[in-house]
Chains A and B, each alone.
Chain A
Amino acid sequence: MSGRPRILVITGYGLNCEAESCHAWARAGAAPEAVHLSDLLADPSRLDAFAGLMFIGGFSFGDHMTSGHVMAVRLRHRLGPHLERFLDRGGLALGVCNGFQIMVKLGLVPGLPDPRASRLSPQVALMANDCGAFQNRWVRVRFEPDSPCVFTRGLDTMPLPVRHGEGKLFVPRKAVLEAIEAAGCVACRYIDPETGAPADRFPANPNGSVHAIAGLCDPTGRVFGLMPHPEAYLYPENHPTWDFEGSPRDEGEGLALFRNAVEFLRAG
């Protein structure tokens, strides 16, 4: 595919990062389109025209009944088969924060093959932060070089903001965690900014996530979700200590994930 790949950005019901998410895709060379979920549900075949899909951050349905839960119920019941078809034909999907929570609830990530369960069943959970409260702070993440994730290819570490109350990854069984690691589904981890090692303590690990997991992809690497917000670091001035830099960067580091995705789509 050449030109500007079309990206569907789903909005509505308390999701709220549409402006920065669309701007990120546009700056990365894609053609984003914000579509209210009610319009998509009225005509789910619209999904067929898009190369990529983004579940953005926000507070879908107020995050009542646990974050992302109610949105996932709606998507599973009213968009399920269309979503599966979109993924089967190689569509790209990105979820950030509430979008990641929705993807986890829908079982899109880690998306390990499980013959005993239906495709859109959750395998892990994102639970209340260990500190017991919503946190907005900057963390450093490391993108895992061995992950198949197409969004994080070639990226090393990056400072990014987190803004969530339920980001602690919980994996019910040890075997599942091992399978996730073995498949390279851990695309990024929180690290200690001093040592570079995976962080197990607050605030470097802001939520108490197991194995310091900050984001997961599926085994194909085309479906990826993370708690930190790359779309909130599009300008150098988003960084909390940009004012100490002698010569600021040209752009925010978060754009790199979107550029990777566009490059992947263009390469077809």
Chain B
Amino acid sequence: MAFRIEIGLKSGIRDARGAGVAAHARAFLHLPVAACRTRDVYLVDGSFEPAEQRRIRTAFADPVACRAAIGRLPPPRVFDWMIEVGFRPGVTDNVGRTAATVVADALGRPRDAFGGVYTAVQYFIRARAGAALARGDAERLARDALANELIHTIRLYDAPGWAAAPVEAAPPLVREPAAPQARSVDLSGSDEDLLRISREGILSLSLAEMRAIRDHFDRPETRAARRTRGLPETPTDVELECLAQAWSEHCKHKIFAAEIRYRDATTGHEETIDGLFRTFIRGATDRIGRETDRLVSVFSDNAGIVRFNERYHVACKVETHNSPSALDPYGGAITGIVGVNRDPMGTGMGCELLANTWGYCLASPFHAGAVPAGLMHPRRIRDGVHQGVIDGGNQSGIPWVRGFERFDERYLGKPLVYCGTVGRIPCTVAGGPSERKEIRPGDAIVMCGGRIGKDGIHGATFSSEELRHESPAQAVQIGDPITQRMMYEFLVEARDLGLYRALTDNGAGGLSSSVGEMCLLSGGAELDLARAPLKYEGLQPWEILLSEAQERMSLAVPPDRLDAFLALAARREVEATALGRFTDSGAFVLRYGAEPVAHLDLAFLHGGCPKMRLEAVWSPPSVAAPRRPRAGRRDGALRRLLGALNVCSREFKSRRYDGEVKGLSVVKPFVGRRADVPSDATVMRVEHGGRDGLAFAEGINPFYGDLDAYAMAASAIDEAVRRVVAVGAAPDGIAGLDNFCWPDPVASDANPDGAHKLAQLVRANRALYDLTTAYRVPCISGKDSMKNDSIRGGRRISIPPTLLFSTLARIEDVRRVVTMPFKAPGDAVYAIGLTHAELGASEYHRNLAAAQGRPEAFGGAVPGVAPAQALALYRAMHAANGAGLLRSAHTPTLGGWAVAFALAALGGDLGADLDLAALPVEEAKLDDDARLFSESNSRFLVTCAPDRARALEAGFAGLPCARIGTVRAEARLRVTGRRGVLRIDSPLPPLRAAFRRTLEGI
């Protein structure tokens, strides 16, 4: 029994949501929509007296602005189409869950005394006078703007049809008649049979892995033991699924662990690398770790922990959520951000969350070409991804500190959605070191947070696959920030009361991964899947184990504290359930009620996966350079660069993210007199009343990878490091995080250049080792995503190899940090660091190549890094900052000095007279275009008060540092070339307009 409530704004009140839909329909779908009015629909499931129904209606609607009806509200006087968008059965309905608490509060009934509430939204669409809006147009509006049919249902009526339609009140309930039961899987067939089982079950297990499983279960001792335990001789579906999770690329990082034979095709040099992670990433951090006590916990937990001050450690993790965001951009992205929040939350004894970061690699929102069937237009992906992370971050009360976007057509097949979270944790929690992770046999296994549904089943194995047309809808989850926020507050409270011994998050692989990995700490676990709270009936045991339903943490609770833990959870309205206990039996044991459904030796579960052996072959690509443009002024080129997609202002979307909750911000993502230019790095306090803080930055430049992945990685690391140095971080207080997103580097018939992509991966890792050890910037955490390809309509689209390197750095005194805008007329302007002829894959060359109609001809020398020289500069920068010499400091990135000059001027609303002849260079003949636009690494643009110029020069004695001009009050940028010719002479307003226009309103 359910009844329906409809709520709409009173007539005459502006409907901002409807107005947005109408504007979107006109601007992006080119439909003649005059107006849109919206309504909220609630289907309340349960049996209620008429008087109770009226009380619920009253409680649901704001009496000042809204009217509400049981059943149906009268429709607007004039409309052409009514589109109602609801959720498919089983899809997370966050508003519906909240509405159920209103029913409970309004009636004074417990929440479980009735079914639930299910929501939908109605859009009443009116066409422009004289224009026709056909049914097909309305369908397009519904499908391309209002609903995603993977998760939504659409009902469409014209006005007479809607008047005649019955009042629908049936909620979208899940009906799964199947009785829960584990099945055994026969692995005795041929290799083809094994591969079919893997493929049809979306297990993503290779033939070698399937054989290893078959052989393990075939061993006489395994068979004998299974008979005594009441298990079939062949593995159950629960066991097979659990192994597939544990052995997935997503969880096991098989490519980063593989043995690789690397060959340089030009030199003939060959070598064997025993694991990229072990050799280069862990290898570098271990080497750095021997010289410092900053590292508290690295690579072993959900996030890396470093020392901050005597009260707090800080932890950080950056994740990607690419495949789900391709299918449902909003749901995938909100899950990405609330999901990565749980990483610091589940690190050590549990961190408090301080800040979020985001970054997206997408195809252009202005993409005009065809979009392969099954993929979404990049503008829609971008809108959905932003909104998902906006809602996830804002509703969780966590400010964003960094955000970036990179655009390249190759991200059409797979968008990259990076989400990061920074946490802090007191050095000591409940009388012990807060980074500890221990579990004792006998501790209860407790799951808390949300309930389990089919959401996200096979997410881990799915993300280890390329995106195919038939990719599963269940792979989509929708994050629920409020359920998570309530759980988070409860966990911090429980932590400080010492109510649990260990915790971890339920992410990819659900309980299978969380408990499966936690139980290594005690030596085993025994768990009853039938005790897990479900969203709806009908889940199979393996589905309960694998579900990636969000907002869940798994804990180890000592038996004598279990009652107190569960009581506090109940008081805070957080669901918590004891599912079993940790043991030291050496096995992960699962039951469904009394029925045994799995018994997996931990040694086999975590150590039985055969190692991959891969081939990498490097031959440098040959890329032509663009034609050199005629000598002359470069005002137009500068405006084009400022307006280029990868350079231009992202302020329009960014203002929708909350960057100031917690009140700790010091340097915001946007700085300057008008707060409209991007900061090099952001800075925040870590606690109220403190003077020390953290600086955050990142480096990412996939374009250099088209010439050499080594240069790409070296440049990304240098950029991330020099950005925090620019605001004032000490070079020896920086920690890094690596995120590798790669196209499939495993060669096969379908992926013929896999060996080249793997060689690129090897080179990027070698750069990471070289740079992080030279700078002594340890990687404290990282992540890889290795299958970023899509095959649709027979066309393979692979992303460019992409390394994101993020940095966080301790700031001694936040009041002394330096920002990038010019500050005062008369200040002396200095260029620090060498400029080389490094225009290969630069923003300038790529724009030039595109303008010349040969976008592939962006070649040239790619920017390199000389780490020893760079480090000397970074130390000198830090000393100058400490001595209070710097009024502004900015590091050039895309667009080189030219864009750097312009942004520093725009930020300060001040002009400058600058001379390229004075730039520190090695080759005096370096031409003006290279001087202006070369993207050489390790450089800074700084200003200082005229009376401090001599002190500044002394600080940089022996280093490449030269005065290149003066800040002027007149808002005009003048740059003279090396022979005295004026290259740029522009007032600031056209530069500002160029920088702001491209993505304004998009």
What residues of chain A have their CB less than 8 Å away from a CB belonging to chain B?
11-14, 16-17, 19-20, 23, 36, 38-39, 42, 57-59, 61-66, 69-70, 73-74, 77-78, 105, 121-125, 127-130, 132-138, 161, 163, 170, 172, 229, 231-235, 237-238, 240-241, 243-244, 248
Contacts and interface: CB of A to CB of B under 8 A. Distances in A.
B573 interface: yes
Contacts of A130: 14, 16
Contacts of B233: none
A52 to B, nearest CB: 19
Nearest to A172: B64
Contacts of A248: 815
Contact of B658 (A38, A134, A238): A134
Point out which of A12, A16, A170 has the most chain B C-beta atoms below 10 A from its C-beta.
A16
Contacts of B689: 23
Nearest to A163: B658
A69 B663 contact: no
Contacts of A12: 486, 489, 572
Contact of B395 (A14, A66, A240): A14
A124 B19 CA distance: 22
Interface residues on B, range: 35 or more
B662 A65 contact: no
User: Closest 5 interchain pairs by CB?
Assistant: A16-B397, A20-B663, A128-B16, A64-B98, A23-B688
Contacts of B432: none
Interface in B661-687: 661-668, 670-673, 675, 685
B72 interface: no
Contacts of A74: 101, 105
A124 B64 contact: yes
Contacts of B662: 17, 19-20
B390 A134 contact: yes
Interface in B596-643: none
Contacts of A235: 663, 666, 685
Given A64-B95, A73-B106, A241 B688 contact: no
Given A77-B105, A130-B14, A243-B671, 10 more contacts: A12-B572, A13-B486, A14-B486, A16-B397, A19-B662, A73-B59, A78-B105, A122-B62, A125-B64, A136-B658
Given A132-B19, A163-B658, A240-B675, A105 B572 contact: no
B17 interface: yes
Contact of A59 (B63, B106, B482): B482
A16 B485 contact: yes
Contacts of A129: 16
29 contacts: A13-B482, A14-B481, A14-B482, A16-B397, A16-B661, A20-B688, A23-B689, A59-B395, A59-B397, A65-B40, A65-B102, A70-B98, A74-B101, A77-B105, A124-B64, A127-B13, A127-B16, A127-B65, A128-B16, A132-B20, A133-B656, A134-B656, A135-B656, A136-B660, A138-B675, A163-B661, A232-B660, A243-B817, A243-B823
A38 B573 contact: yes
A19 B658 contact: no
A14 B660 contact: no
B102 A243 contact: no
B819 interface: yes
A65 B60 contact: yes
A135 B671 CA distance: 17
A238 B481 contact: no
A161 B660 contact: yes
Given A39-B571, A132-B20, A23 B485 contact: no
Nearest to A13: B486
Given A16-B397, A17-B397, A240-B675, A59 B481 contact: yes
Nearest to B387: A133
A62 B663 contact: no
A210 to B, nearest CB: 11
Contacts of A36: 489, 572
A109 to B, nearest CB: 13
B572 A38 contact: yes
Among B65, B397, B660, B821, max chain A CB count under 10 A is at B660
Given A17-B397, A42-B571, A134-B390, A232 B94 contact: no
Contacts of B19: 132
Nearest to B481: A62
A51 B815 CA distance: 35
Nearest to A176: B64
A229 B655 CA distance: 16
Contacts of A57: 661
B486 A69 contact: no
Interface in B555-592: 571-573
Contacts of A17: 397, 661-663
Contacts of B14: 127, 130
Contacts of A234: 663, 688
Contacts of A233: 663
B765 interface: no
B396 interface: yes
B688 A19 contact: yes
A189 B485 CA distance: 32
Contacts of B17: 128, 132
Contacts of A61: 98, 101, 482
A190 to B, nearest CB: 16
Interface in B83-103: 94-95, 98-99, 101-102
B659 interface: yes
Contact of B659 (A19, A133, A136, A243): A136
Contacts of A132: 16-17, 19-20
Nearest to B64: A125
A235 B819 CA distance: 17
Contacts of A232: 660-661, 663
A11 B485 CA distance: 11
A134 B400 CA distance: 14
A23 to B, nearest CB: 4
B394 interface: yes
Contacts of A172: 64-65
A99 B485 CA distance: 17
Given A62-B98, A65-B102, A128-B17, A229 B395 contact: no
A19 B818 CA distance: 27
B102 A73 contact: yes
A74 B101 CA distance: 9
A70 B666 CA distance: 34
A132 to B, nearest CB: 4
Given A20-B663, A73-B106, A237-B815, A62 B13 contact: no
A170 B10 CA distance: 12
A134 B389 CA distance: 13
B709 interface: no
A240 B671 contact: yes
Contacts of A38: 571-573
B40 to A, nearest CB: 8
B657 interface: yes
B814 interface: yes
Interface string B817-842: 11101010000000000000000000
Output the residue of B99, B101, B663 with the most chain A CB within 10 A: B663
Given A61-B98, A64-B94, A248-B815, A105 B660 contact: no
B108 interface: yes
Given A38-B571, A38-B573, A73-B105, A59 B394 contact: yes
Contact of B667 (A20, A65, A243): A243
Contacts of A69: 62
B662 to A, nearest CB: 6
Contacts of A238: 660, 663, 665-666
B880 to A, nearest CB: 16
Contact of A244 (B101, B394, B571, B673): B673
B668 A122 contact: no
Contacts of B572: 12, 36, 38
Contacts of B94: 62, 64
A267 to B, nearest CB: 27
A229 B17 CA distance: 25
